[in-house]
Structure 1
Amino acid sequence: MCGIVGLFLKTPDLEPRLGALLAGMLGTMSDRGPDSAGFAVYGDRIEGLKLTLRGPDRTVLAEAVAGLGRALGLDLDATLRDTHAVVVLPAPREAEGRDWIADRAPGIDVVGAGRRMEIYKEVGRPAAVAERFALPEMRGSHGIGHTRMATESAVTTGGAHPFSTGPDECLVHNGSLSNHNDLRRRLRREGLAFATENDSEVAAGYLTWRMREGASLRQALEASLSDLDGFFTFVVGTRDGFAVLRDPIACKPAVMAETDAYVAFGSEYRALAGLPGIGGARVFEPEPATVYAWERT
Protein backbone atom coordinates (compact mmCIF):
# COMPACT_ATOMS: atom_id res chain seq x y z
CA MET A 1 0.00 0.00 0.00
CA CYS A 2 1.37 3.38 -1.05
CA GLY A 3 0.03 6.88 -1.53
CA ILE A 4 0.23 8.94 -4.71
CA VAL A 5 -0.48 12.62 -5.24
CA GLY A 6 -0.20 14.92 -8.21
CA LEU A 7 -1.06 18.50 -9.04
CA PHE A 8 -1.07 20.08 -12.50
CA LEU A 9 -1.73 23.81 -12.75
CA LYS A 10 -3.55 24.95 -15.86
CA THR A 11 -2.59 28.61 -15.43
CA PRO A 12 0.36 30.40 -13.79
CA ASP A 13 -1.73 31.97 -11.01
CA LEU A 14 -1.10 29.20 -8.47
CA GLU A 15 2.53 28.51 -9.40
CA PRO A 16 3.98 30.25 -6.30
CA ARG A 17 1.86 27.92 -4.16
CA LEU A 18 2.59 24.64 -5.95
CA GLY A 19 5.07 23.36 -3.37
CA ALA A 20 2.91 24.28 -0.39
CA LEU A 21 -0.15 22.62 -1.90
CA LEU A 22 1.79 19.50 -2.90
CA ALA A 23 3.36 19.27 0.57
CA GLY A 24 -0.09 19.28 2.17
CA MET A 25 -1.27 16.54 -0.16
CA LEU A 26 1.85 14.45 0.49
CA GLY A 27 1.57 14.75 4.25
CA THR A 28 -2.06 13.66 4.18
CA MET A 29 -1.02 10.37 2.60
CA SER A 30 1.43 9.52 5.42
CA ASP A 31 -0.52 6.56 6.75
CA ARG A 32 -0.56 4.98 3.29
CA GLY A 33 3.25 5.10 3.24
CA PRO A 34 5.15 6.11 6.36
CA ASP A 35 8.49 4.53 5.40
CA SER A 36 9.79 6.95 2.79
CA ALA A 37 8.59 9.65 0.45
CA GLY A 38 9.60 11.64 -2.58
CA PHE A 39 8.40 14.22 -5.04
CA ALA A 40 9.22 15.87 -8.33
CA VAL A 41 8.62 19.54 -9.04
CA TYR A 42 8.62 21.13 -12.49
CA GLY A 43 9.85 24.70 -12.14
CA ASP A 44 11.05 27.34 -14.58
CA ARG A 45 12.69 26.07 -17.73
CA ILE A 46 16.42 26.75 -17.94
CA GLU A 47 18.79 26.90 -20.90
CA GLY A 48 21.13 24.29 -19.45
CA LEU A 49 20.37 21.03 -17.69
CA LYS A 50 19.55 20.34 -14.06
CA LEU A 51 21.14 17.25 -12.52
CA THR A 52 19.59 16.23 -9.21
CA LEU A 53 22.24 14.48 -7.10
CA ARG A 54 21.75 12.50 -3.90
CA GLY A 55 24.47 11.93 -1.31
CA PRO A 56 24.99 11.08 2.35
CA ASP A 57 25.05 14.71 3.54
CA ARG A 58 25.57 18.34 2.48
CA THR A 59 29.33 18.27 3.09
CA VAL A 60 29.94 15.32 0.79
CA LEU A 61 27.61 16.80 -1.82
CA ALA A 62 29.35 20.18 -1.71
CA GLU A 63 32.74 18.49 -2.16
CA ALA A 64 31.41 16.49 -5.11
CA VAL A 65 29.93 19.58 -6.77
CA ALA A 66 33.23 21.44 -6.33
CA GLY A 67 35.18 18.52 -7.78
CA LEU A 68 32.80 18.26 -10.72
CA GLY A 69 33.20 21.95 -11.45
CA ARG A 70 36.99 21.65 -11.42
CA ALA A 71 36.89 18.60 -13.69
CA LEU A 72 34.64 20.35 -16.22
CA GLY A 73 36.37 23.71 -15.88
CA LEU A 74 33.09 25.37 -14.93
CA ASP A 75 31.83 27.57 -12.11
CA LEU A 76 28.74 25.48 -11.39
CA ASP A 77 25.46 26.86 -10.11
CA ALA A 78 24.21 24.44 -7.44
CA THR A 79 21.40 24.44 -4.88
CA LEU A 80 21.92 22.18 -1.85
CA ARG A 81 18.89 20.88 0.01
CA ASP A 82 19.71 18.43 2.79
CA THR A 83 20.93 15.20 1.11
CA HIS A 84 20.25 16.43 -2.45
CA ALA A 85 21.80 19.00 -4.74
CA VAL A 86 20.58 20.42 -8.02
CA VAL A 87 23.51 21.26 -10.30
CA VAL A 88 23.13 23.20 -13.54
CA LEU A 89 25.33 22.04 -16.42
CA PRO A 90 25.51 22.97 -20.10
CA ALA A 91 23.40 20.28 -21.77
CA PRO A 92 26.26 19.04 -24.02
CA ARG A 93 28.35 18.30 -20.90
CA GLU A 94 25.78 15.97 -19.27
CA ALA A 95 27.43 12.69 -20.27
CA GLU A 96 30.84 13.97 -19.18
CA GLY A 97 29.39 15.07 -15.85
CA ARG A 98 27.65 11.76 -15.27
CA ASP A 99 30.83 9.84 -16.07
CA TRP A 100 32.86 11.92 -13.59
CA ILE A 101 30.27 11.37 -10.84
CA ALA A 102 30.19 7.62 -11.48
CA ASP A 103 33.99 7.33 -11.50
CA ARG A 104 35.13 9.94 -9.00
CA ALA A 105 32.28 10.59 -6.56
CA PRO A 106 31.49 7.38 -4.65
CA GLY A 107 28.24 7.56 -2.75
CA ILE A 108 26.74 10.20 -5.05
CA ASP A 109 23.82 9.17 -7.27
CA VAL A 110 22.07 11.01 -10.09
CA VAL A 111 18.33 10.70 -9.44
CA GLY A 112 17.03 12.90 -12.23
CA ALA A 113 17.89 15.29 -15.03
CA GLY A 114 16.04 17.82 -17.12
CA ARG A 115 15.50 21.44 -18.01
CA ARG A 116 12.65 21.80 -15.49
CA MET A 117 12.45 18.74 -13.23
CA GLU A 118 13.95 18.40 -9.76
CA ILE A 119 13.51 15.16 -7.76
CA TYR A 120 13.89 14.71 -4.00
CA LYS A 121 13.32 11.54 -1.98
CA GLU A 122 14.36 10.12 1.36
CA VAL A 123 13.53 7.64 4.10
CA GLY A 124 11.17 9.06 6.71
CA ARG A 125 7.61 10.21 7.19
CA PRO A 126 6.30 12.22 4.23
CA ALA A 127 5.71 15.47 6.10
CA ALA A 128 9.26 15.34 7.47
CA VAL A 129 10.70 14.61 4.01
CA ALA A 130 8.79 17.57 2.55
CA GLU A 131 10.12 19.82 5.32
CA ARG A 132 13.73 18.60 4.94
CA PHE A 133 13.76 19.64 1.30
CA ALA A 134 11.71 22.83 1.78
CA LEU A 135 8.97 21.65 -0.57
CA PRO A 136 6.48 24.31 0.66
CA GLU A 137 8.83 27.01 -0.68
CA MET A 138 9.05 25.58 -4.20
CA ARG A 139 7.12 26.95 -7.14
CA GLY A 140 6.29 25.45 -10.51
CA SER A 141 3.62 24.34 -12.95
CA HIS A 142 3.16 20.75 -11.79
CA GLY A 143 4.46 18.13 -9.41
CA ILE A 144 3.92 14.55 -8.32
CA GLY A 145 4.63 12.76 -5.06
CA HIS A 146 4.67 9.33 -3.45
CA THR A 147 4.52 7.91 0.05
CA ARG A 148 5.88 4.39 0.33
CA MET A 149 5.03 1.39 2.45
CA ALA A 150 7.74 -1.12 1.56
CA THR A 151 5.85 -4.41 1.53
CA GLU A 152 8.16 -6.34 -0.82
CA SER A 153 11.61 -4.83 -0.32
CA ALA A 154 13.79 -2.97 2.15
CA VAL A 155 13.13 0.57 3.28
CA THR A 156 15.80 2.51 1.41
CA THR A 157 16.15 5.89 -0.23
CA GLY A 158 16.94 4.16 -3.52
CA GLY A 159 13.61 2.36 -3.38
CA ALA A 160 11.64 5.56 -2.87
CA HIS A 161 9.72 7.17 -5.72
CA PRO A 162 9.64 9.04 -8.09
CA PHE A 163 11.77 7.15 -10.58
CA SER A 164 13.26 8.90 -13.59
CA THR A 165 14.95 7.24 -16.57
CA GLY A 166 14.71 10.07 -19.10
CA PRO A 167 15.07 13.86 -19.26
CA ASP A 168 12.22 15.64 -17.47
CA GLU A 169 10.36 12.32 -17.17
CA CYS A 170 9.39 10.62 -13.92
CA LEU A 171 6.81 8.23 -12.54
CA VAL A 172 5.19 7.25 -9.26
CA HIS A 173 3.45 3.90 -8.93
CA ASN A 174 1.05 2.20 -6.57
CA GLY A 175 0.81 -1.53 -7.21
CA SER A 176 3.03 -4.42 -8.26
CA LEU A 177 4.30 -5.67 -11.63
CA SER A 178 4.86 -9.38 -12.20
CA ASN A 179 6.98 -9.23 -15.38
CA HIS A 180 9.41 -6.49 -14.41
CA ASN A 181 12.50 -8.73 -14.32
CA ASP A 182 12.02 -9.92 -17.90
CA LEU A 183 11.18 -6.42 -19.05
CA ARG A 184 14.26 -5.00 -17.31
CA ARG A 185 16.47 -7.40 -19.26
CA ARG A 186 14.81 -6.38 -22.53
CA LEU A 187 15.18 -2.68 -21.79
CA ARG A 188 18.83 -3.08 -20.86
CA ARG A 189 19.39 -4.51 -24.33
CA GLU A 190 17.82 -1.29 -25.65
CA GLY A 191 20.44 0.73 -23.79
CA LEU A 192 18.57 1.70 -20.62
CA ALA A 193 20.29 1.51 -17.24
CA PHE A 194 18.63 0.79 -13.90
CA ALA A 195 19.92 1.64 -10.45
CA THR A 196 17.55 -0.55 -8.40
CA GLU A 197 15.57 -3.78 -8.54
CA ASN A 198 12.32 -1.86 -8.03
CA ASP A 199 9.52 -2.73 -10.46
CA SER A 200 8.48 0.93 -10.60
CA GLU A 201 11.84 1.93 -12.08
CA VAL A 202 11.20 -0.58 -14.86
CA ALA A 203 7.82 1.02 -15.55
CA ALA A 204 9.54 4.40 -15.82
CA GLY A 205 12.15 2.91 -18.14
CA TYR A 206 9.47 1.34 -20.30
CA LEU A 207 7.78 4.70 -20.86
CA THR A 208 11.13 6.35 -21.60
CA TRP A 209 11.94 3.68 -24.18
CA ARG A 210 8.54 4.00 -25.86
CA MET A 211 8.87 7.77 -26.12
CA ARG A 212 12.43 7.47 -27.45
CA GLU A 213 10.96 5.31 -30.18
CA GLY A 214 8.63 8.14 -31.15
CA ALA A 215 5.51 7.49 -29.11
CA SER A 216 3.73 10.29 -27.32
CA LEU A 217 3.21 9.97 -23.58
CA ARG A 218 -0.39 8.94 -24.20
CA GLN A 219 0.66 6.30 -26.73
CA ALA A 220 3.35 4.95 -24.39
CA LEU A 221 0.86 4.59 -21.56
CA GLU A 222 -1.69 2.92 -23.82
CA ALA A 223 0.97 0.41 -24.94
CA SER A 224 1.83 -0.35 -21.31
CA LEU A 225 -1.65 -1.81 -20.83
CA SER A 226 -0.63 -4.83 -22.93
CA ASP A 227 3.10 -4.93 -22.14
CA LEU A 228 3.00 -4.64 -18.34
CA ASP A 229 1.58 -7.47 -16.25
CA GLY A 230 0.28 -6.78 -12.78
CA PHE A 231 -1.76 -4.08 -11.13
CA PHE A 232 -0.84 -0.44 -11.10
CA THR A 233 -1.81 3.15 -10.89
CA PHE A 234 0.70 5.47 -12.54
CA VAL A 235 1.04 9.22 -12.25
CA VAL A 236 3.61 10.52 -14.72
CA GLY A 237 5.32 13.86 -15.13
CA THR A 238 7.02 15.18 -18.25
CA ARG A 239 8.49 18.59 -19.09
CA ASP A 240 5.12 20.01 -20.10
CA GLY A 241 2.64 17.37 -19.03
CA PHE A 242 0.94 15.25 -16.43
CA ALA A 243 -0.83 11.93 -16.95
CA VAL A 244 -2.67 9.25 -14.98
CA LEU A 245 -3.32 5.60 -15.85
CA ARG A 246 -4.91 2.72 -13.94
CA ASP A 247 -4.66 -0.92 -14.99
CA PRO A 248 -7.72 -2.67 -16.49
CA ILE A 249 -8.82 -4.02 -13.09
CA ALA A 250 -8.16 -0.75 -11.23
CA CYS A 251 -7.89 -2.39 -7.82
CA LYS A 252 -5.89 0.52 -6.34
CA PRO A 253 -7.87 3.51 -5.07
CA ALA A 254 -7.74 6.75 -7.03
CA VAL A 255 -9.65 10.02 -7.18
CA MET A 256 -9.22 13.14 -9.28
CA ALA A 257 -10.49 16.70 -9.15
CA GLU A 258 -10.55 19.28 -11.93
CA THR A 259 -11.26 23.00 -11.87
CA ASP A 260 -10.47 25.83 -14.27
CA ALA A 261 -7.22 26.31 -12.35
CA TYR A 262 -5.85 22.80 -11.83
CA VAL A 263 -6.11 19.03 -12.11
CA ALA A 264 -5.29 17.04 -8.97
CA PHE A 265 -4.83 13.35 -8.21
CA GLY A 266 -4.85 11.53 -4.90
CA SER A 267 -5.02 7.94 -3.74
CA GLU A 268 -7.85 9.14 -1.49
CA TYR A 269 -10.08 12.21 -1.57
CA ARG A 270 -8.67 13.55 1.69
CA ALA A 271 -5.42 14.32 -0.16
CA LEU A 272 -7.41 16.81 -2.25
CA ALA A 273 -9.60 18.26 0.47
CA GLY A 274 -7.31 21.22 1.24
CA LEU A 275 -6.96 22.48 -2.33
CA PRO A 276 -8.40 25.90 -3.18
CA GLY A 277 -11.81 25.74 -4.83
CA ILE A 278 -12.19 22.02 -4.18
CA GLY A 279 -15.83 22.52 -3.24
CA GLY A 280 -16.62 23.51 -6.82
CA ALA A 281 -14.36 20.97 -8.51
CA ARG A 282 -15.48 18.14 -10.74
CA VAL A 283 -14.47 15.16 -8.61
CA PHE A 284 -14.34 11.75 -10.27
CA GLU A 285 -12.75 8.32 -10.15
CA PRO A 286 -10.52 7.71 -13.18
CA GLU A 287 -11.76 4.83 -15.31
CA PRO A 288 -9.71 1.64 -15.69
CA ALA A 289 -7.39 1.32 -18.69
CA THR A 290 -7.98 4.96 -19.64
CA VAL A 291 -5.25 7.55 -20.08
CA TYR A 292 -5.91 10.99 -18.62
CA ALA A 293 -3.41 13.58 -19.77
CA TRP A 294 -2.95 17.34 -19.67
CA GLU A 295 -0.21 19.54 -21.12
CA ARG A 296 0.92 23.16 -20.97
CA THR A 297 3.12 24.61 -23.70
Structure 2
Amino acid sequence: MCGIAGLQVRDPSLEPRLGELLTGMLHQAAERGPDSAGVGLYGDPRFTAPGRSTVSLLDPGVPAEELAARVGGGAEVVAAGQTIVVRSRIGAAELERAIRDAVPGAVVTGRGSDLAVLKGVGHPDVLAREFALREASGRQGIAHTRMATESAVTPEGAHPFSVAEDLCLVHNGSFANHATIRRELRAEGVAFDSDNDSEVGARFVAARLAEGHDLDKALRLLCERFDGFYTLLVTTADTFAVVRDAIACKPAIVAETDAWVAMASEYRCLARLPGIESARIFEPEPEEVYTWQR
Protein backbone atom coordinates (compact mmCIF):
# COMPACT_ATOMS: atom_id res chain seq x y z
CA MET A 1 0.00 0.00 0.00
CA CYS A 2 2.60 2.56 1.17
CA GLY A 3 2.28 6.28 1.77
CA ILE A 4 4.04 9.19 0.08
CA ALA A 5 4.45 12.74 1.35
CA GLY A 6 6.63 15.52 0.01
CA LEU A 7 6.99 19.26 0.35
CA GLN A 8 8.99 21.86 -1.56
CA VAL A 9 9.15 25.21 0.21
CA ARG A 10 9.18 28.32 -1.96
CA ASP A 11 8.75 30.93 0.77
CA PRO A 12 12.01 31.16 2.77
CA SER A 13 10.07 32.11 5.90
CA LEU A 14 8.65 28.57 5.94
CA GLU A 15 12.03 26.83 5.78
CA PRO A 16 12.37 26.63 9.60
CA ARG A 17 9.02 24.80 9.64
CA LEU A 18 9.92 22.12 7.07
CA GLY A 19 10.39 19.41 9.70
CA GLU A 20 7.25 20.34 11.61
CA LEU A 21 5.13 20.25 8.45
CA LEU A 22 6.71 17.04 7.14
CA THR A 23 6.23 15.35 10.52
CA GLY A 24 2.50 16.03 10.33
CA MET A 25 2.33 14.71 6.77
CA LEU A 26 4.26 11.56 7.68
CA HIS A 27 1.99 10.91 10.66
CA GLN A 28 -1.09 11.02 8.45
CA ALA A 29 0.51 8.55 6.03
CA ALA A 30 1.53 6.09 8.77
CA GLU A 31 -1.50 3.83 8.37
CA ARG A 32 -0.57 3.28 4.73
CA GLY A 33 2.81 1.81 5.71
CA PRO A 34 3.44 0.92 9.36
CA ASP A 35 6.53 -1.31 9.02
CA SER A 36 9.24 1.17 8.00
CA ALA A 37 9.73 4.75 6.91
CA GLY A 38 12.26 7.27 5.71
CA VAL A 39 12.82 10.87 4.75
CA GLY A 40 15.11 12.80 2.46
CA LEU A 41 15.90 16.32 3.67
CA TYR A 42 17.44 19.04 1.53
CA GLY A 43 19.24 21.86 3.31
CA ASP A 44 18.80 20.72 6.92
CA PRO A 45 21.71 22.39 8.77
CA ARG A 46 21.83 19.57 11.31
CA PHE A 47 23.36 17.43 8.58
CA THR A 48 24.46 19.68 5.73
CA ALA A 49 26.55 22.82 5.55
CA PRO A 50 27.80 25.13 2.79
CA GLY A 51 30.96 23.82 1.17
CA ARG A 52 30.50 20.31 2.53
CA SER A 53 29.21 17.10 1.02
CA THR A 54 27.18 14.48 2.86
CA VAL A 55 26.87 10.70 2.74
CA SER A 56 24.12 8.88 4.61
CA LEU A 57 24.48 5.22 5.56
CA LEU A 58 22.81 2.63 7.69
CA ASP A 59 24.43 2.25 11.10
CA PRO A 60 27.67 0.31 10.40
CA GLY A 61 28.15 -0.69 14.04
CA VAL A 62 31.20 1.55 14.44
CA PRO A 63 31.18 4.33 17.07
CA ALA A 64 30.88 7.80 15.56
CA GLU A 65 34.32 8.97 16.70
CA GLU A 66 35.98 5.85 15.35
CA LEU A 67 34.18 6.16 12.01
CA ALA A 68 35.21 9.81 11.70
CA ALA A 69 38.81 8.85 12.42
CA ARG A 70 38.75 6.03 9.86
CA VAL A 71 37.29 8.28 7.16
CA GLY A 72 39.70 11.11 7.99
CA GLY A 73 39.84 14.45 6.25
CA GLY A 74 38.06 16.23 9.08
CA ALA A 75 34.90 14.16 8.64
CA GLU A 76 32.03 14.75 11.04
CA VAL A 77 29.47 12.08 11.97
CA VAL A 78 25.88 12.80 13.03
CA ALA A 79 23.64 9.97 14.27
CA ALA A 80 19.91 9.86 13.48
CA GLY A 81 18.25 6.65 14.61
CA GLN A 82 19.23 3.71 12.40
CA THR A 83 21.03 6.06 10.00
CA ILE A 84 24.17 8.10 10.37
CA VAL A 85 25.26 11.02 8.22
CA VAL A 86 28.90 11.79 7.48
CA ARG A 87 29.86 15.22 6.17
CA SER A 88 33.16 16.53 4.94
CA ARG A 89 34.73 19.25 2.82
CA ILE A 90 35.70 16.73 0.14
CA GLY A 91 33.34 15.90 -2.74
CA ALA A 92 30.49 13.47 -2.30
CA ALA A 93 32.00 10.79 -4.55
CA GLU A 94 35.35 11.00 -2.79
CA LEU A 95 33.67 10.92 0.61
CA GLU A 96 31.65 7.85 -0.35
CA ARG A 97 34.83 6.05 -1.46
CA ALA A 98 36.51 6.93 1.83
CA ILE A 99 33.55 5.56 3.79
CA ARG A 100 33.45 2.33 1.80
CA ASP A 101 37.19 1.89 2.37
CA ALA A 102 36.77 2.60 6.07
CA VAL A 103 33.71 0.37 6.55
CA PRO A 104 33.61 -2.33 3.84
CA GLY A 105 30.09 -3.48 3.16
CA ALA A 106 28.48 -0.27 4.41
CA VAL A 107 25.03 0.37 2.94
CA VAL A 108 25.04 3.94 1.64
CA THR A 109 21.53 5.39 1.54
CA GLY A 110 22.28 8.84 0.15
CA ARG A 111 24.94 11.22 -1.02
CA GLY A 112 25.18 14.76 -2.30
CA SER A 113 25.98 18.35 -1.55
CA ASP A 114 22.77 19.14 0.30
CA LEU A 115 20.93 15.91 1.13
CA ALA A 116 20.48 13.70 4.19
CA VAL A 117 18.55 10.42 3.83
CA LEU A 118 17.25 8.93 7.09
CA LYS A 119 15.39 5.63 7.15
CA GLY A 120 14.80 2.50 9.17
CA VAL A 121 12.43 -0.23 10.33
CA GLY A 122 9.63 0.63 12.72
CA HIS A 123 6.44 2.62 12.97
CA PRO A 124 6.73 5.96 11.14
CA ASP A 125 5.82 7.99 14.25
CA VAL A 126 8.58 6.27 16.25
CA LEU A 127 11.10 6.80 13.47
CA ALA A 128 10.13 10.47 13.15
CA ARG A 129 11.04 10.90 16.80
CA GLU A 130 14.32 9.02 16.30
CA PHE A 131 15.13 11.33 13.38
CA ALA A 132 14.06 14.38 15.44
CA LEU A 133 12.20 15.21 12.26
CA ARG A 134 10.16 17.98 13.86
CA GLU A 135 13.41 19.89 14.45
CA ALA A 136 14.45 19.76 10.80
CA SER A 137 14.56 22.82 8.59
CA GLY A 138 15.36 23.27 4.93
CA ARG A 139 13.85 23.91 1.54
CA GLN A 140 12.55 20.47 0.54
CA GLY A 141 11.61 17.15 2.08
CA ILE A 142 10.39 13.79 0.80
CA ALA A 143 8.93 11.03 2.99
CA HIS A 144 7.60 7.50 2.69
CA THR A 145 5.83 4.96 4.87
CA ARG A 146 6.13 1.36 3.73
CA MET A 147 3.91 -1.69 3.82
CA ALA A 148 6.24 -4.31 2.41
CA THR A 149 4.69 -6.58 -0.19
CA GLU A 150 7.54 -7.44 -2.56
CA SER A 151 10.61 -7.76 -0.33
CA ALA A 152 11.67 -8.17 3.29
CA VAL A 153 11.15 -5.55 5.96
CA THR A 154 14.71 -4.25 6.31
CA PRO A 155 16.31 -0.82 6.63
CA GLU A 156 17.85 -1.38 3.18
CA GLY A 157 14.37 -1.89 1.70
CA ALA A 158 12.90 1.25 3.22
CA HIS A 159 12.40 4.35 1.09
CA PRO A 160 13.62 6.85 -0.05
CA PHE A 161 16.08 5.34 -2.48
CA SER A 162 18.92 7.72 -3.21
CA VAL A 163 21.42 6.17 -5.62
CA ALA A 164 22.97 9.29 -7.20
CA GLU A 165 24.01 12.67 -5.86
CA ASP A 166 21.08 14.67 -4.44
CA LEU A 167 18.54 12.27 -6.01
CA CYS A 168 15.67 10.72 -4.02
CA LEU A 169 12.82 8.46 -5.13
CA VAL A 170 9.79 7.13 -3.27
CA HIS A 171 7.27 4.73 -4.80
CA ASN A 172 3.77 3.49 -4.13
CA GLY A 173 2.83 0.48 -6.23
CA SER A 174 4.62 -2.39 -7.93
CA PHE A 175 6.79 -2.77 -11.02
CA ALA A 176 5.86 -5.95 -12.90
CA ASN A 177 9.10 -6.27 -14.88
CA HIS A 178 11.61 -5.07 -12.31
CA ALA A 179 13.54 -8.39 -12.33
CA THR A 180 14.25 -8.07 -16.05
CA ILE A 181 15.40 -4.47 -15.72
CA ARG A 182 17.51 -5.35 -12.67
CA ARG A 183 19.35 -7.97 -14.74
CA GLU A 184 19.93 -5.45 -17.52
CA LEU A 185 21.31 -2.86 -15.10
CA ARG A 186 23.53 -5.45 -13.40
CA ALA A 187 24.92 -6.36 -16.82
CA GLU A 188 25.88 -2.70 -17.15
CA GLY A 189 27.78 -2.88 -13.85
CA VAL A 190 25.11 -1.44 -11.54
CA ALA A 191 25.12 -2.87 -7.99
CA PHE A 192 22.05 -3.12 -5.76
CA ASP A 193 21.60 -2.83 -2.00
CA SER A 194 18.17 -4.49 -1.66
CA ASP A 195 15.59 -6.69 -3.36
CA ASN A 196 13.10 -3.82 -3.43
CA ASP A 197 11.62 -3.16 -6.87
CA SER A 198 11.65 0.56 -6.09
CA GLU A 199 15.45 0.52 -6.03
CA VAL A 200 15.35 -0.71 -9.63
CA GLY A 201 13.32 2.36 -10.55
CA ALA A 202 15.73 4.66 -8.74
CA ARG A 203 18.78 3.15 -10.42
CA PHE A 204 17.09 3.32 -13.83
CA VAL A 205 16.42 7.04 -13.32
CA ALA A 206 19.98 7.59 -12.10
CA ALA A 207 21.36 5.85 -15.19
CA ARG A 208 19.28 8.07 -17.48
CA LEU A 209 20.43 11.20 -15.64
CA ALA A 210 24.04 10.04 -16.02
CA GLU A 211 23.44 9.83 -19.77
CA GLY A 212 22.62 13.54 -19.76
CA HIS A 213 18.83 13.51 -19.66
CA ASP A 214 16.99 15.86 -17.34
CA LEU A 215 14.61 14.50 -14.70
CA ASP A 216 11.52 15.06 -16.84
CA LYS A 217 12.97 12.97 -19.68
CA ALA A 218 14.30 10.29 -17.32
CA LEU A 219 10.82 9.77 -15.89
CA ARG A 220 9.25 9.65 -19.34
CA LEU A 221 11.73 6.93 -20.27
CA LEU A 222 10.81 5.07 -17.08
CA CYS A 223 7.14 5.14 -18.10
CA GLU A 224 8.08 3.66 -21.47
CA ARG A 225 10.20 0.87 -19.98
CA PHE A 226 8.46 -0.16 -16.74
CA ASP A 227 5.24 -2.17 -16.54
CA GLY A 228 2.97 -2.22 -13.50
CA PHE A 229 1.13 0.30 -11.39
CA TYR A 230 2.95 3.08 -9.58
CA THR A 231 3.07 6.60 -8.29
CA LEU A 232 6.53 8.13 -7.98
CA LEU A 233 7.74 11.26 -6.23
CA VAL A 234 11.30 12.06 -7.26
CA THR A 235 13.46 14.94 -6.10
CA THR A 236 16.85 16.44 -6.91
CA ALA A 237 18.56 19.41 -5.31
CA ASP A 238 16.26 21.86 -7.10
CA THR A 239 13.45 19.78 -8.62
CA PHE A 240 10.28 18.14 -7.28
CA ALA A 241 8.62 15.70 -9.71
CA VAL A 242 5.56 13.42 -9.74
CA VAL A 243 4.50 10.76 -12.25
CA ARG A 244 1.88 8.00 -12.30
CA ASP A 245 1.48 4.96 -14.53
CA ALA A 246 -0.95 4.73 -17.44
CA ILE A 247 -3.79 3.35 -15.29
CA ALA A 248 -3.14 5.66 -12.30
CA CYS A 249 -4.83 3.30 -9.86
CA LYS A 250 -2.60 4.27 -6.92
CA PRO A 251 -3.82 7.37 -5.08
CA ALA A 252 -2.02 10.68 -5.48
CA ILE A 253 -2.88 14.31 -4.89
CA VAL A 254 -0.95 17.54 -5.41
CA ALA A 255 -1.51 20.92 -3.75
CA GLU A 256 0.24 24.13 -4.79
CA THR A 257 0.42 27.69 -3.50
CA ASP A 258 2.86 30.54 -4.06
CA ALA A 259 4.59 29.47 -0.82
CA TRP A 260 4.95 25.72 -1.42
CA VAL A 261 4.08 22.68 -3.50
CA ALA A 262 3.19 19.39 -1.84
CA MET A 263 2.27 15.87 -2.92
CA ALA A 264 0.80 13.00 -0.92
CA SER A 265 -1.09 9.75 -1.24
CA GLU A 266 -4.13 11.25 0.50
CA TYR A 267 -5.58 14.70 1.11
CA ARG A 268 -5.41 14.28 4.88
CA CYS A 269 -1.60 14.51 4.64
CA LEU A 270 -2.03 17.99 3.17
CA ALA A 271 -4.95 19.25 5.24
CA ARG A 272 -2.91 21.16 7.82
CA LEU A 273 -0.42 22.84 5.53
CA PRO A 274 -0.53 26.66 5.87
CA GLY A 275 -2.71 28.19 3.19
CA ILE A 276 -4.24 24.89 2.05
CA GLU A 277 -7.65 26.53 1.87
CA SER A 278 -6.50 28.62 -1.11
CA ALA A 279 -4.27 25.99 -2.75
CA ARG A 280 -4.70 24.65 -6.25
CA ILE A 281 -5.45 20.97 -5.62
CA PHE A 282 -5.52 18.28 -8.29
CA GLU A 283 -4.85 14.63 -9.07
CA PRO A 284 -1.91 14.04 -11.44
CA GLU A 285 -2.94 12.71 -14.84
CA PRO A 286 -1.72 9.26 -15.98
CA GLU A 287 1.82 9.18 -17.44
CA GLU A 288 2.16 12.96 -17.29
CA VAL A 289 5.37 14.13 -15.64
CA TYR A 290 4.89 17.12 -13.36
CA THR A 291 7.97 19.04 -12.28
CA TRP A 292 8.51 22.08 -10.07
CA GLN A 293 11.81 23.89 -9.65
CA ARG A 294 12.98 26.38 -7.07
Give yes or no for TM over 0.5. yes
CA contact (8 A) 2:74 2:88 kept: no
User: Which sections of structure 2, spanning at least 5 residues, go unmatched?
Assistant: none
TM-score (normalizing by structure 2): 0.93
RMSD between superposed Cα atoms in Å: 1.8
Q: Return the alpha-carbon distance in structure 2 between the equivalents of residues 53 and 154 of structure 1.
A: 19
CA contact (8 A) 1:55 1:61 kept: no
Aligned residue among 61, 67, 71 for 1:68: 71
Q: Which residue of 1 aligns with 2:263?
A: 265
Deviations 1:60-119 (A, max 9, x none): 3443233222xxxx2222322233222123444734x43454354256421110001100
Q: Which residue of 2 aligns with 1:27?
A: 27
Aligned residue among 116, 119, 123 for 1:118: 116
User: Which sections of structure 1, spanning at least 5 residues, go unmatched?
Assistant: none
TM-score (normalizing by structure 1): 0.92
Q: Which residue of 1 aligns with 2:8?
A: 8
Q: Which residue of 1 aligns with 2:127?
A: 129
3-state SS of the aligned residue for 1:231? strand
3-state SS of the aligned residue for 1:6? strand
Q: Return the alpha-carbon distance in structure 1 between the equivalents of residues 65 and 246 of structure 2.
A: 46
Aligned residue among 149, 152, 160 for 2:150: 152
Q: Which residue of 1 aligns with 2:87?
A: 88
3-state SS of the aligned residue for 1:128? helix
3-state SS of the aligned residue for 1:166? coil
Q: 2:50 is matched by which residue type in structure 1? A: I
Aligned residue among 48, 52, 55 for 1:51: 55
Q: 1:278 is matched by which residue type in structure 2? A: I
3-state SS of the aligned residue for 2:86? strand
Q: 1:177 is matched by which residue type in structure 2? A: F
CA contact (8 A) 2:92 2:111 kept: no
For structure 1, which segment, 144-153 or 160-169, has the greater mean C-alpha deviation from structure 2 after superposition? 144-153
Q: Return the alpha-carbon distance in structure 2 between the equivalents of residues 92 and 164 of structure 1.
A: 17
1:1-297 matched pairs, under 5 angstroms: 1-43=1-43, 46-55=50-59, 60-69=63-72, 74-92=73-91, 94-95=93-94, 97-105=95-103, 108-296=106-294
Give me the identity figure in percent: 51
Large movers: runs of 4+ above 4 Å:
none
Q: Return the alpha-carbon distance in structure 2 between the equivalents of residues 56 and 89 of structure 1.
A: 18
Q: How many residues align?
A: 290
Query: How far apart are residue 179 of structure 1 and its match?
Result: 1.3
CA contact (8 A) 2:107 2:156 kept: no
